[in-house]
Amino acid sequence: MGGKIIDRLMRRKYISSGELAESSLKRTLTTLDLTALGIGSTLGVGVYVLAGDVAKNSAGPSVVLSFAIAAIASVFAGLCYAEFGARVPRAGSAYVYSYVCVGELIAFIIGWNLILEYVIGTASVARGYSNYLDSLFDKKMQSAFRNITPIHDWLDSPTASEYLSSYFDFFALGICILLSLLLSFGVKESSKFNNVFTVLNLLVVVYVIIIGSFKADIKNWQIEPEEVENSGNYNVGDGGFFPFGINGMLSGAATCFYGFIGFDAVATTGEETKNPQRSIPIAIVVSLTFIFLAYFGISTVLTMMWPYYDQDPNSPLPTVFEAIGWPSAKWIVSIGALFGLSTSLLGAMFPLPRVVYAMAKDGLIFRFLAKVHSKYQTPMLATLLSGTFGGILAAIFDLNALVDMMSIGTLLAYTLVAHVDQYLLDDEALGQNLDSLFCLDDTRKFLDSLVRRKYMNPDEMVETSLKRTLNALDLTLLGIGSTLGVGVYVLAGDVAKNTAGPSVVLSFAIAAIASVFAGFCYAEFGARVPRAGSAYIYSYVCVGEFIAFIIGWTLILEYMIGTASVARGYSNYLDALFNKKMQAAFHEITPIHEWIDNPTVAEYLSPYLDFFAFAICVFLTLLLCFGVKESSKFNSVFTCLNLLVVVYVVIIGSINAKVKNWQIKPEEVQNPGNKLDIGDGGFFPFGINGMLSGAATCFYGFIGFDCVATTGEETKNPQRAIPIAIVVSLTFIFLAYFGVSTVLTMMWPYYDQDPYSPLPTVFEAIGWSSAKWVVSIGALFGLSTSLLGTMFPLPRVVYAMANDGLIFRCFSKVNARFKTPVIATLVSGTCGGILAAIFELSSLVDMMSIGTLLAYTLVAMCVLILSKEEVYYSKISSSTGVCFIGVNGILIFQEDSISGKSDAKWPIVLLVIFILMSLITVVIISRQPMNKHKLHFKVPLVPFLPAVSIWINIYLMMKLSDKTWIRFSVWMILGECDCIDLISKISLKMAMI
C-alpha cells in the first residue's frame, strides 16, 4: 500500500510535442509584451513603498544592500524559470514544469505556494496603491474609512490587531475587482494597458533617480544617534550605514525580495504566447536586469536625500520631495507611481488565475475553475474569484504582514524550482543540441590535424633525467625571488613617472588580479603534469602539439626578455650607487645612438653597450650549470635578505609619506619649459586609461612565479609542492609591490621619480642617505634572485621542447655529473645577456608582458578545456576567445563612445551583444559534463575564474602599444613558420611509413 501511495505522489505528467503547441487559450503575446509584463508586474511596491518601509524599520541606508542580496536570489531563480519556460511552455509556471519533470507531489507543493504568492501579491500591491493615492490627498480617504470601519477598536486581542489593518480599505477591494474584469475580457487588451503604463513607470523611475541625485547627501549614510533630536521617538538604532546591524540588513533583504516578485508571471503565459520557448526566457532575463537597476538607484537616492529614521513607510518618495521643498516633484512622482502600481497590480493578478486554471485542469483543485470563456478565451471564473479574494485580503490585512507572507511563500517556491532543475543537469540531448548550435565541425578539421597530443603514462611522470632535490620551501622562495625585483626597485618609479602617476598602486592591484587567476591555472597544471617545461608540456599533454608550440615559443620569449630586462635593471641600480660612472664609461666606449642614423631604431636600443649586464648573465648561467640545489641555496639566502629590505622600505617610507603627493595640481608645480610631464595632476594624472596602460606594464612585476612550474622534474613531490609554492609566493609578492609603490609615490611627486633607480633617488632627495645605501645594497640582493629566477626556467623549457623534437635536439642533453641541461642553460643565458646589453628597459618590459599574457591566456583556456569532457575542448576555446576579444576591442578602441564623450551609439550596442555572448558561452561551458579526474589541486569556480583570467589577460594585451604588437608578431611568425614546417615533415614521414 505504501509503495502505491509513493508511486502516485511521484506520478509525472506526460505532454507530447503536439500537446505543447495546442491550447484552449488564445496565443497573442509577443516577447515585448512579456518583457513589459515582467517589468510592470514587479516595478511597483518595491520602488514606491517598500524602500522607505525597510529603510525606516529594518535596514536603514543598508537597504541598498538588502535589494542587492534579494536581486541575487531572484536572478538565480530567474535562470531556473527561464529554462523551465523553454522546456515546458504551458500555463501554470513552475507548477506544470515540476509536474512534467518530477511528479505530482512536488507539483502540488509548488502550485499551492504559487497561489499563496500571487494572492498575497495582489493584496499587498492593491494596499500600496491605496496608500499612495491617499497620500496625494493628505490621507483623507484613510480617515474616512477609519471612521466607517475602525477594525482595531472592534478587536480586544492586540496580537490580532498587529496583523490587521486599522480600517477596511474599500478602495483596494474596488481596484482589484476592476482589474479582474479587465483581465477577463482578453489577455491582449490587458497587455496593451500594461505596456503603456510600464513605459510611463520607467520614465518616472529615471526621473526620480536623476532629480534625487541632486539632493543626495552622503551624510545621511553617516548619521550618529547622539546628533539626532529624538523628539519624535525615532528608531535611530546605532546610526551609520548599518543602524540595525548586519542582521537588520539581511532581514531587510528577505522583505526586499518581495520587490522582485513578479517576473515569474511571465512563466505563466506559456499557452498565450506566440513563441513561448524563445520569448519566455528572453523576457525573464531582460526584465530582471531593468528591475534591479531601478530598485538599486531609487533606494540609494531615497536614503541619501532624507534620513532613514524619518522615512514615510507608506509613501516615502512624495513625503521626501515635499520635505526638501520640491512639491512639483512630489506630484509627478505620486502620479507616476500610480501608473507603476497599476501595472504592478495587473502583473500580480495576471498569473494567479492561470496557475489556478492549470491545477484545476489536472484535477488537483476544483475542476470548474478550469473553464475557459468561449468568446474571450480566458479562464474567467478563476480570474474573477482570485481577484476578488485578493481584494478582500487587501482590504483587511496590513501591508507589512502581507509582504512577509508573500516573501516566504515565493522563496519556498523558488527553492523547489531550483531543486527540480537539478534533475535536468545530465540531459545529454540538451548538451548535444547546444554543442551543435555553437560549433561548426567543418571549420575545425584543419585545427584537429594540429592538435596531436603527447601521451605520458604514470611511470613517465615520475621518471626523469634531472635530479629531484627541491621541496615546497625551495619553490616558494624561488617564486618570490624570481619576481620580487624589478617590479619593486625599478618598475614602480618608471610607471609612476611616465604612465600612471600615483595610480600605479591600482595598476599593480589590477595586474595582481590577473596574475592570481593565472597562478591558479598554473597550479592546476602543475598538479596534472609535473614535468619540466611549465605551460608548454602541460598543453602538449592536455591539448595538442600546435598549441604547445605556441605556448613554448611564447615562454622562450618571456624568459629571455625577462633575463635581459632584469639584468639591465641590475646594472642601472648598481650604477646609481656610484653616480652613474659606469654608464658614462660604457657610453664613452660604445655610443650606440651616435652610430645609428635612424632615430626609430635608436629609440628601442640602449645608448651604450652594457657590459656589466652581459657579464652578470654569464656568471649566473655558470652557477645554474653546476646544479639546481646549489642555485636554490643561493636564491633562498638572497630572497630572505630581499624581503627584509622590502619591509624596511615600507616602514621607513611610511614615516615620510605625505598624502599631498597624491593630490598635486599642475598649476602649483614649477615647470619651466614644460620639461616635466605632469598630466592633469591628482591621483589619476594620466586618466583611467593611463592607469590601465600602467597595469599592462606592471604585470611584468608579477612575472616569475610561473618559473616554479618548470621544476616538475627537479622537485621531490611536485604535485603537492608546485601549487602551494605558487599561491604562497603570489601572496607575498602582491603585498610587497602594493606597499612599496604606495610609499614611493607618497614620499615624492610622481613626475620627479627616477625611472631607473627610484627608491635610492627618493631617499637621497628627502635627506635619508643612509636609507638610500641600505635600499640600494638590499636591492642588489633582490635583483640577484630575480635575475636567477628569470634565468632558471628558460633552459628547462628549451630542454623540454628539444626533448620532443620541436627545436634542436642538442638542447636536450643533460650533463652526467651535474644533472642539468648545460647546453640549453649556456645558450639561453648568453642570448639573454646580449639582449640586456643592447636593448632599452621599457621596450623589453612591454615585449615580455605581451608574451606572458598570451601564455597565461592559453593556460587558462586549457584549464577551461580540461575541466570538462575532452570532446568539447576545441569548441569551447574558440567561442570564449572570440567573445572576449570583441568585448575588449570595443572597450579599448571605442573608449570615447562607451564613456559618453562621443555620440556614437553602435559601440554600446555591440558591447552589450558581446557581453551577452560571453556570458552565454560561459554558462554553456558550465553546463557541460565535468571531468572527474582527481587532482591534488584544482582551480576553484570553474569556468568563471579561468574565464575572467582570459578576459583580463586579453584586455591587458590589447592595451599595449602597436609597436609592441608588431615586434611580438614578428617573433610569432618566425616560430609559426618553423612549427608548421616541422609538423609537415613529421606528417610526411608518417605517411611514407
Nearest CA among 544, 428, 289 for reference residue 927: 428
CB 100 within 8 A of CB 12: yes
For residue 777, count other CB atoms closer than 10 A to its CB.
Answer: 15
Which residues are CB-contacts of 437 (< 8 A; sequence separation ≥ 6)? none
CB 74 within 8 A of CB 288: yes
Residues facing 481 on adjacent strands:
none
DSSP state for residue 931 in the 8-state scheme: P
The C-alpha torsion from 543 through 544 and 546 to 550, rounded to 10°, is 50
Grid cell 532624507 — which residue? 306
Give the mean model confidence (pLDDT) for residues 712-721.
Answer: 79
Among the residue ranges 27-31, 185-189, 474-478, 672-676, the one predicted with the least confidence is: 672-676
In residues, how long is the chain?
993
764 grid coordinates: 637621497
Nearest CA among 673, 177, 114 for reference residue 384: 177
In whole angstroms, give the CA distance from residue 357 to residue 379: 7
Q: Give the pLDDT confidence of 691-709 residue by residue, as tens digits.
A: 888 887 787 677 777 778 7
Backbone φ and ψ for 788, nearest 5 degrees, come out as -60, -40
In whole angstroms, give the CA distance from residue 936 to residue 944: 20
Give the mean model confidence (pLDDT) for residues 195-224.
Answer: 86
What pTM does this model have? 0.50
CB 538 within 8 A of CB 862: yes
53 grid coordinates: 518601509
Q: Is 773 exposed, middle or buried (0-12, 13-18, 19+ CB in 10 A)?
A: middle
Q: Which residue has the higher pLDDT, 258 or 134?
A: 134
DSSP 3-state percent helix, strand, coil across the chain (nearest 5): 75, 0, 20
CB 609 within 8 A of CB 586: yes
Q: Give the pLDDT confidence of 799-829 residue by residue, as tens digits.
A: 888 888 778 788 888 877 777 788 888 888 8
CB 204 within 8 A of CB 179: no
Q: What band does 462 get if pLDDT is binned at 50, 70 and 90?
A: low
In whole angstroms, give the CA distance from residue 123 to residue 130: 11
Backbone φ and ψ for 60, nearest 5 degrees, come out as 70, -150
In whole angstroms, give the CA distance from residue 959 to residue 990: 43
In 215-315, which residue ranges form alpha helices assigned H by DSSP? 245-256, 276-305
In whole angstroms, give the CA distance from residue 587 to residue 608: 5
pLDDT at 1: 38
Q: Which residue has the higher pLDDT, 825 or 892?
A: 825
* Secondary structure of 307-318 in HEC code, one letter for each residue: CHHHCCCCCHHH
Decide: helix, strand or coil at residue 50.
helix
Residues facing 167 on adjacent strands:
150
- In the chain, the percentage of residues whose pLDDT exceeds 90 is 2
Give the mean model confidence (pLDDT) for residues 866-889.
Answer: 58
* Cis preceding linkage at 591, omega within 30: no
Q: What band does 450 get if pLDDT is binned at 50, 70 and 90?
A: low
pLDDT at 746: 92
Give the mean model confidence (pLDDT) for residues 677-692.
Answer: 85
Computed from CA positions of residues 580, 582, 586, 588, in that sequence, does the dihedral angle turn out positive or negative?
A: positive
Domains annotated for the chain, with CATH where assigned, are: 1-19+27-424 (1.20.1740.10), 471-670+690-857 (1.20.1740.10)
DSSP state for residue 699 in the 8-state scheme: G
Nearest CA among 716, 646, 645, 701 for reference residue 474: 716
Decide: helix, strand or coil at residue 608.
strand
E-strand stretches of 71-146:
none
CB 467 within 8 A of CB 627: yes
Q: Give the pLDDT confidence of 719-734 residue by residue, as tens digits.
A: 788 888 888 888 888 8
C-alpha distances in angstroms, 693 versus 498, 503, 518, 959? 10, 11, 19, 6
Give the mean model confidence (pLDDT) for residues 833-862.
Answer: 74
Q: Give ∠ CA 930-935-937 in degrees, rounded to 5.
A: 105
Average pLDDT over all residues of the chain: 77
Q: Give the pLDDT confidence of 743-797 residue by residue, as tens digits.
A: 999 998 888 888 877 888 888 888 887 887 788 777 778 878 888 877 888 888 8
Q: Is 481 exposed, middle or buried (0-12, 13-18, 19+ CB in 10 A)?
A: buried
C-alpha distances in angstroms, 659 versus 52, 412, 489, 652, 740? 39, 52, 21, 16, 15
